[in-house]
Structure 1
Amino acid sequence: MVEYEACIMGIRAVIECKIKVLEVYGDSTLVIYQLNGEWETRDPKLIDYQKLVLELVKEFDDVTFCYLPRDENQMAYALATLASMIKVNKQEDVKPIQMSIYETPAHCYNIEDDEEKDDHPWYHNIFQYAKNREYPNQASENDKRTLRRLAIDYVLDGEILYKRRKD
């Protein structure tokens, strides 16, 4: 039922936008195949939902229902995460979200080419703090606090830095 309810809400929102051609992607094989007419709807609770969806789609010139497996539905998870992060008042207009798709992971764009390269491994500052209780030269108070918090999760055995675990 939840899948049908989400479908109905989405279709109603699209109708308000005056869109006439619609592709609906869903990760419920049951709902998608029932709406395509490939499977019979036997559950009495679902029959009314199916009828409502089929009534709503009459507003469109063309509608297709496409099955998209859950593990391939990354965009839906990303949008759900974004939606859970913001609060919207009913009186406010919601600004559109502009998205870009990059071939390289986003964290790689945080590293600028002109940054100084120090040839130290990522754990160097943690190692130095665990060994000698020394901070990097230009460390701010916030940097020092963060380094202390990170170092708690590591233990130094001679010259080898280990991450603390239950064992």
Structure 2
Amino acid sequence: MEAVLPIEVEIPSMRILAKTELEEAEWAKQRYEQLNLIDEKRLKAICHGQCYQQRMARAFNAKVCHREFNPDDLVLRKVLHVTPDSRGKFSYKYDGPFVVKETFSGGVIILSDMDGTENVLPINADAIKKYYP
């Protein structure tokens, strides 16, 4: 008994052709039809992948809460780095409060301290939250 690969059952090779005693013209015709269907299968797979990505994006975006910050809002900034004198899990998670100086498209925000000194680096809106005194 000889082992046959599953792909050879679907797309017959010369060995399968010899065993089943197909005519060469008929085998070539079947092979040509399968090659013509490859583009269709490829397009179907691409379409399926795009539909899947759209479904996943829609499900993710449904859970996103849009936060809007206006100038002169009070906010807390997330501590993004570990300080050398940190107290482990008991360290502060947020700095602040800060005042929103300016907002840009894409969620970029420039903050200033409570005394009015402006921070040089802009910060992403994901790393701040509103502060209610």
TM-score (norm. length: structure 1): 0.23
Greater percentage in strand = 2
Structure of greater Rg: 2
TM-score (norm. length: structure 2): 0.27
